[in-house]
Amino acid sequence: MSAPTVRRRRLGAKLRGLRDGLAMTLDDVADKSAGTITTAKLSRLETAKSAAKPGDIEKLLDLYGVEETELRSALLALSREGARRGWWQSYRAVLSPVYEDLISLEDDATSARTWQIGVIPGLLQTAEYAREFMTSIGMSAAVEEKIDALVEVRLARQSVLTSRENPLNLWAIIGESALRTRCVGEGVMLDQLTRLHTLSRRPNINIQVLPADAPPHVGQMGSFSILGFEEHPDLDVVHVESLTSALYVEEGEQVVAYRDAFERLTAAALSVEASAERIAQIKEDHR
């Protein structure tokens, strides 16, 4: 059995929440479904041990009296993920399941809020910056052999900002130290800063810079990203990445804590306008 994906766990948690809200037990649901959804099946769905079939989700939503069209559509979309083939699946030989989860979530999300303390966010990177960064953190020869394909994936991910009918709304806060990195490749950082300046003009992208001399702030605890799903914030997911692994935060109170942290970082950073000016100034330093 494949490991539960973030998407499957989100669906299971939502189903459990709907059932708990009606004070129904697993046996209650089995009885009301006339045995079509057994207690064992429902338990596996709620704990993400089994992939959900859209038909089962339809039955459960009917049993729970869920009539809201948008919520039904969102949950059914989660259940169909297993059958939907994304562009990234052709890169499975080089992608970890956790990275596939991130790409899939970005593909469905309506917004992304990211704080990066020392690196340019992946959705804003140029190919050469991505290549140099990936090479610098490569922990084995096996990783280095995949660099070309991983750079392709990094650039393909960025299509969510420009190519779809409703582009992803990205709000990025970047630590100033990330903008002052001295890349080995000639002109790499200058091109990267130019790209930031260009992308910041798009209506769906906001970029803020957190100055290097800012007072102590919550962002010093580490980078993170929040993937948002429009009218259903209870489906939001936080992505926290480290050198060798990544963590997805899905529990409601913890997600709220990250939202609050991002708001505090927004207030601590330079305004969008002042950030554009700071990026332009730093570009001059790289010439």
What per-residue confidence (pLDDT) applies to 2?
44
Contact 129, 183 (CB under 8 A): yes
Model confidence at 82: pLDDT above 60: no
- Summarised one tens digit per residue, pLDDT across range 215-268 is 999 999 999 999 998 767 778 899 998 887 888 898 889 999 999 999 999 999
* Average pLDDT estimate for 65-81: 84
* Structural domains of the chain sorted by starting position, each given as residue range(s) with its CATH number in brackets: 6-83 (1.10.260.40), 96-286 (3.30.870)
Q: pLDDT tier at 145 (50, 70, 90 boundaries)?
A: confident
What per-residue confidence (pLDDT) applies to 261?
98
What per-residue confidence (pLDDT) applies to 210?
98
CA distance linking residue 278 with residue 242, whole number of Å: 28
What per-residue confidence (pLDDT) applies to 139?
60
What per-residue confidence (pLDDT) applies to 229?
84
Question: What residues does 247 pair with on adjacent strands?
Answer: 240
Model confidence at 90: pLDDT above 90: no
* Average pLDDT estimate for 109-117: 96
The order of strands in the sheet holding 237-241 is: 205-210, 169-175, 111-116, 224-228, 237-241, 246-249
Model confidence at 1: pLDDT above 50: no
* Average pLDDT estimate for 43-61: 87
Which range among 86-90, 181-185, 238-242 shows the weakest confidence by mean pLDDT?
Answer: 86-90
pTM for the predicted model, two decimal places: 0.81
How many of the other CB atoms lie within 10 Å of CB of 141?
7
Model confidence at 140: pLDDT above 70: no
- Residues 6 or more apart whose Cβ sits within 8 Å of residue 28: none
- How high is the mean pLDDT of the chain? 89
| In the chain, % of residues over pLDDT 90 | 58
